[in-house]
Chains A and B, each alone.
Chain A
């Protein structure tokens, strides 16, 4: 009964989406406020209905209702409760339900918080949002219905893929989706603005918080996914440049560009058409990601079930959304009035450079991801493009971006004095050179690109700190006054500094672990010693331990350094009897500057040795620390009162109080 209710409310949501997509839109055309007002209850109702459907599916998982095909295929009664719940989105059908839930959440968010939006704009935004919902709700209902029953319910289910039974991966999809789907709001605003033929600062004030929220969540989702790959897959890597990773990274890159270009629209009323285009492209890249992951078109280590029907449905949706909005853009963008002028060396110029580089970088990732597909379609040859391609293309584009990021925040709007700014950044440049030379010396000339990257990262970090210090006039005025200034700074200023510093920290971690990682793969027996990066690991014992729905074989390694014991590492091999699969659980010991990482593999045959795989990964924790800083910086900026559109008057007052401007 409950699954039928869930199915029914999903259909109800579809009907509400039709209403929301049609009535307010016509209302906006005719200027009829009563028709436009339909949007709000429809959006809320849609959210309610989808939430109900989601709750129904969750209920089926929690009580292990094996009359539902989806539950049979992806759950088991002995599975821990956490993974029963997260198993709801650990499969295609359930994750589509999560997708539409997030979409409805965004729509309802606009409806609720958009009280002071111009009525026609709000009605149009919500209509566009409903069209997207219409596409994905019908996709879910027609091709991936999670509420399908089975004729002969089995006694138990097939269990969730053991690799997915992990907290990192349990929360990675919701964050990732919130990011993907969150960009739909920017898209809807862009389409609505094109329909209205008007983009102004107020429009950007609306779009930016939504973009920022989506960006934060996508940052978190990507970081969590990479962290999971690092500790769960047992190969010690955190990024593979795999198509499935790339498709979440491209919207992130484009979203980052959008975030920055929206600032220009907001503060200087220029770069409008470009910002609109970016908003369209960012969401299109999200859609493309969804399409690629679900169509099985691309070869990927994480590749999905191949279902041509689903693939072509999403391709159709994508063609309509992207093609339609780009056509609208081509038709309506010339209507947008151009805004203020600026010199090439100015804050606007810096942000434009940021956008150009990010867009180019996105394009290289796009080409790397799609090229194999085109080649196969054209010649039938199968190729793959691995990490070296991206190291040659993506990294060289990122270095100038990082260099510019150090300078950008110092530039004044309209026209800036580049020589003066560079003079203020002498210390940062000096530090960067010193660190690069030190790295060069310590790592025996180590990969040139890595030495450069360390220098650039330190440059950005130092420039960010100097910028902050100048704002509070650190050491120029008494510390107490600096403290008062620091407290008076807007949160968005802190957000920017934190996010920029986060990127620098992230870059140091990425460089360290990719360039100077040590690896040891060896057959071991009890009592064997392994030496890596100054540590000695001794295999003391191998134990078998029971788990809730698996049993594990655990290797116990004692770690010593210079004869001093540092504790034990216990890598596991888990066997999940229901799924009939093994997983490798890495044991990781970190001191903040590097990780000692160990996994074991079962002896290939009876009576043989164990294979141990030991890594020393320098600086790797900095990757996730940096990502967390970026995400937190974004959230801080989001919490800035002046960004909240509900408080324009307060914002004006605060501006006069704090003489230092944000951004």
Chain B
């Protein structure tokens, strides 16, 4: 085993690792990138069928309705457009009317977004960044309802 041979082996092993990682990453990207849509985006472009998406905005005041079997329906708005969302399960602690929310799920046939997951924040003053941007875009951004210096997880 000469130094050159060894270097060759190491380089080959390294290339093999990189190639397999790249292959894995590219296939995983194909199926597992979750795009974010504001209600206005949904209005303009529609949601991709059969794919998981994230939507976000403010929970419209007075829109939260509890249905049978632990189902919740609410409206997410960015001020210009609205989107109805249903979710089955317990809502996170910091879910409130008038506050930012992000939901992950799929478009239903009736145009109602079926959330599989409603994301909780550690801190209710913190506005999800996508939501803040979506609100800024639609001109509904009110800083006082959004960020304030707050910490989570103590890092």
Instruction: Report the minimal beta-carbon distance from B94 to chain A, rounded to whole angstroms.
Output: 8
- Interface residues as binary, A517-530 with B (CB distance below 8 Å gives 1, 0 otherwise): 00001110000000
A397 within 8 A of B: yes
In Å, the complex CA distance between A386 and B20 comes to 20
Q: A164-B154, A521-B89 are in contact. Are A389 and B121 (CB under 8 A)?
A: no
Chain B residues within an 8 Å CB radius of A124: none
State whether A299 touches B35 (Cβ < 8 A). Answer: no
State whether A169 touches B149 (Cβ < 8 A). Answer: no
State whether A388 touches B28 (Cβ < 8 A). Answer: yes
Which interface residue of B27, B70, B122, B154 has the most chain A CB atoms within 10 A?
B154
Chain A residues within an 8 Å CB radius of B32: 385-386, 388-389, 392
Residue of A nearest to B119 (CB): A301
A396 within 8 A of B: yes
Q: A343-B1, A344-B9 are in contact. Are A244 and B120 (CB under 8 A)?
A: no
A560 within 8 A of B: no
Main SS of the interface on chain B? Answer: mixed
State whether A383 touches B24 (Cβ < 8 A). Answer: no
A604 within 8 A of B: yes
Q: Within residues 219 to 264 of chain A, which ones have a CB less than 8 A from any CB in chain B?
A: 225, 233-235, 244, 248
State whether B93 touches A583 (Cβ < 8 A). Answer: yes
Q: Within residues 135 to 155 of chain B, which ones have a CB less than 8 A from any CB in chain A?
A: 147-155
Residue of B nearest to A382 (CB): B36
Residue of B nearest to A341 (CB): B1
State whether A91 touches B148 (Cβ < 8 A). Answer: no
Q: Within residues 82 to 121 of chain A, which ones have a CB less than 8 A from any CB in chain B?
A: 89-92, 95
A304 within 8 A of B: yes
State whether A521 touches B1 (Cβ < 8 A). Answer: no
State whether B66 touches A352 (Cβ < 8 A). Answer: no
CB-contact partner of A342 in B1, B35, B119, B121, under 8 A: B1
Q: A360-B20, A389-B29 are in contact. List 18 more A-B contacts (CB 8 A).
A: A91-B154, A95-B154, A161-B151, A302-B122, A303-B129, A306-B147, A307-B149, A344-B6, A363-B21, A364-B21, A364-B24, A382-B35, A388-B28, A396-B20, A397-B24, A521-B90, A581-B93, A581-B94
State whether B21 touches A397 (Cβ < 8 A). Answer: yes
A449 within 8 A of B: no
In Å, the complex CA distance between A531 and B120 comes to 27
In Å, the complex CA distance between A163 and B151 comes to 11
Number of A-B contacts (CB under 8 A): 170
State whether A385 touches B33 (Cβ < 8 A). Answer: yes
Chain A residues within an 8 Å CB radius of B2: 341
Residue of A nearest to B65 (CB): A604
A77 within 8 A of B: no
Chain B residues within an 8 Å CB radius of A389: 28-29, 32-33
State whether A611 touches B70 (Cβ < 8 A). Answer: yes
Chain A residues within an 8 Å CB radius of B3: 338, 341
State whether A172 touches B154 (Cβ < 8 A). Answer: yes
A176 within 8 A of B: yes
**Which positions in B face A, CB cutoff 8 Å?**
1-3, 6, 9-10, 13-14, 17-18, 20-21, 24-25, 27-29, 31-36, 54, 64, 66, 69-70, 72, 88-91, 93-94, 104, 119-124, 126, 128-130, 133, 147-155
A552 within 8 A of B: no
In Å, the complex CA distance between A392 and B23 comes to 10
State whether B27 touches A392 (Cβ < 8 A). Answer: yes
Chain A residues within an 8 Å CB radius of B64: 604
Instruction: Report the minimal beta-carbon distance from A354 to chain B, rounded to whole angstroms.
Output: 11
Q: A164-B154, A341-B1, A352-B13 are in contact. Are A601 and B90 (CB under 8 A)?
A: yes
State whether B93 touches A392 (Cβ < 8 A). Answer: no
State whether A384 touches B36 (Cβ < 8 A). Answer: yes
Chain A residues within an 8 Å CB radius of B21: 360, 363-364, 393, 397
State whether A356 touches B17 (Cβ < 8 A). Answer: yes
Interface residues on A, range: 35 or more
Chain B residues within an 8 Å CB radius of A307: 149
Those 6 A-B pairs whose CB atoms lie nearest each other, nearest first: A382-B36, A392-B28, A305-B149, A389-B32, A173-B154, A302-B153
Residue of B nearest to A580 (CB): B124
Which interface residue of B28, B90, B120, B147 has the most chain A CB atoms within 10 A?
B90
Q: Within residues 279 to 318 of chain A, which ones have a CB less than 8 A from any CB in chain B?
A: 289-290, 293-294, 296, 299, 301-307
| 11 A-B contacts (beta carbon < 8 Å) | A73-B149, A161-B151, A173-B154, A302-B122, A303-B128, A344-B9, A367-B25, A382-B54, A383-B35, A397-B24, A521-B88
Chain A residues within an 8 Å CB radius of B89: 521, 613
CB-contact partner of A301 in B28, B36, B120, under 8 A: B120
Q: A341-B1, A383-B34 are in contact. Are A305 and B66 (CB under 8 A)?
A: no
State whether B25 touches A302 (Cβ < 8 A). Answer: no
In Å, the complex CA distance between A317 and B66 comes to 50
In Å, the complex CA distance between A235 and B18 comes to 35
Chain B residues within an 8 Å CB radius of A163: 122, 152
In Å, the complex CA distance between A584 and B120 comes to 12
Chain A residues within an 8 Å CB radius of B66: 604-605, 608
Chain B residues within an 8 Å CB radius of A608: 66
Chain B residues within an 8 Å CB radius of A201: none
Chain B residues within an 8 Å CB radius of A613: 89-90
State whether B25 touches A244 (Cβ < 8 A). Answer: no
State whether A169 touches B153 (Cβ < 8 A). Answer: yes
Residue of A nearest to B88 (CB): A521
State whether A393 touches B93 (Cβ < 8 A). Answer: no
Instruction: Report the minimal beta-carbon distance from B110 to chain A, rounded to whole angstroms.
Output: 23
In Å, the complex CA distance between A293 and B155 comes to 7
Q: A382-B130, A384-B54, A386-B34 are in contact. Are A522 and B154 (CB under 8 A)?
A: no
Residue of A nearest to B149 (CB): A305
In Å, the complex CA distance between A343 and B2 comes to 9
Instruction: Report the minimal beta-carbon distance from B34 to chain A, rounded to whole angstroms.
Output: 5
A438 within 8 A of B: no
A582 within 8 A of B: yes
Chain B residues within an 8 Å CB radius of A599: 90
Residue of A nearest to B123 (CB): A161
State whether B148 touches A305 (Cβ < 8 A). Answer: yes
Q: A89-B154, A301-B121 are in contact. Are A357 and B36 (CB under 8 A)?
A: no
State whether A360 touches B17 (Cβ < 8 A). Answer: yes
Chain B residues within an 8 Å CB radius of A294: 155
In Å, the complex CA distance between A233 and B122 comes to 9
In Å, the complex CA distance between A360 and B31 comes to 21
Chain A residues within an 8 Å CB radius of B130: 299, 382
CB-contact partner of A169 in B34, B90, B154, under 8 A: B154
Residue of B nearest to A356 (CB): B17
Chain A residues within an 8 Å CB radius of B129: 296, 299, 303, 306
Residue of B nearest to A343 (CB): B1
Chain B residues within an 8 Å CB radius of A393: 21, 24-25, 28
A353 within 8 A of B: yes
Instruction: Report the minimal beta-carbon distance from B32 to chain A, rounded to whole angstroms.
Output: 4
Residue of B nearest to A270 (CB): B6
